[in-house]
Amino acid sequence: MTSGAPRHIVITGASAGIGRALALAYAGPGVVLGLVGRDLVRLDASAADCRALGASVVVGQFDVRDAGAVEAWLDEFDGAYPVDLLIANAGVASTLASTTDWEGRERTARIVETNFFGTMHAVLPVVEHMRKRRRGCVAMVASIAALRGMAISPAYCASKAAIKAYADSVRPLLRREGVGVTVILPGFVKTAMSDVFPGEKPFMWSADQAAAHIRRKIDAGRAEIAFPGLLAFGMRLLTLLPPTVADAILDRLSYQPRGKGSI
């Protein structure tokens, strides 16, 4: 792990939502932020706000599905500013709009390639550098949905569960090499992504509230950050129930597609 507060920080998906809020939470004098995103206009806006708080910012505009572009940019950034903390946050959502909607091969691939492989494309190059230095921390943003799949968003749940499984798997391996691993399991956070979610959204947090909480827990060396607590507890409880009972509970919460759409 890093000694003291991280100074060289990379955040993917930094142009909006939790990623932008995390960038602002870490911005300050003496901090160098590597902010990654696809939308250059929004990314530049995030960078400008972070610079106003005293941080130096390097912007990387590319899609995290492009492994070559991700690795090349990260290698260059790390060469100039050895990364203390990577927050692999970039992700997209998908929900079924109706009972006739279905996530086919292309749609499923887009979700998994962005959420899981996009995370791996950022994590693996940075981890190689951290292992050589025997210090650093990698945080991967999964979701409360990683704890129990929901019929309304199969590909999203699967991609986030894969992130959690990977983080849990490599944590003990990297710990003995001086590299910390944290997996982040947010519940509902007020962002553009949550705005289009059609089900109930209990215990909603603001993006700033979520970012402040995540920073505190990362600073404390937490292996897993799941919030809000009551929602995380409820999702864990579902895994202990018979699947049909858990399915029925999620159905009551409108976490299954409703209504018939056009085929």
CATH of the domain at 58: 3.40.50.720
In a domain, 1, yes or no: no
The one-letter amino acid at 237: L
- Given this model, what pLDDT does residue 1 score? 44
Is it the case that residue 164 has pLDDT exceeding 80?
yes
3-state SS class at 148: coil
Query: For 75-82, what is the mean pLDDT?
Result: 98
The confidence band for 199, taking pLDDT boundaries of 50, 70 and 90, is: low
pLDDT averaged over every residue in the chain: 93
- Given this model, what pLDDT does residue 203 score? 85
Query: Which residues in the chain belong to E strands, given as ranges?
Result: 8-12, 32-37, 56-61, 85-88, 137-141, 180-186, 189-190, 205-206, 224-227
In a domain, 221, yes or no: yes
The confidence band for 263, taking pLDDT boundaries of 50, 70 and 90, is: very low
The confidence band for 38, taking pLDDT boundaries of 50, 70 and 90, is: very high
In a domain, 18, yes or no: yes
- Given this model, what pLDDT does residue 2 score? 45
Please give the distance of CA 31 from its chain centroid, rounded to a whole number.
21
Q: CA-CA distance, 140 to 126, in Å (whole number)?
A: 12
Q: Which of 45-49, 137-141, 192-196, 247-251 has the lowest mean pLDDT?
A: 192-196
- Given this model, what pLDDT does residue 4 score? 77
Structure tokens at 155: 């590909």
In a domain, 260, yes or no: no
The confidence band for 262, taking pLDDT boundaries of 50, 70 and 90, is: very low
The pTM (predicted TM-score) of the whole model is: 0.93
Tell me how many domains the chain contains.
Answer: 1
In a domain, 154, yes or no: yes
In a domain, 2, yes or no: no
Higher pLDDT pick, 256 / 130: 130
What are the residue numbers of the active site? 156
In a domain, 169, yes or no: yes
- Given this model, what pLDDT does residue 261 score? 53
* Count of CB atoms situated within 10 Å of the CB of 49: 15
Query: For 121-133, what is the mean pLDDT?
Result: 98
- Domain ranges, residue 223: 8-252
- Given this model, what pLDDT does residue 82 score? 98
| Residue whose pair of structure tokens reads 């995380």 in the numeric block | 232
In a domain, 263, yes or no: no
Query: Which residues in 39-164 belong to E strands, given as ranges?
Result: 56-61, 85-88, 137-141
- Given this model, what pLDDT does residue 16 score? 95
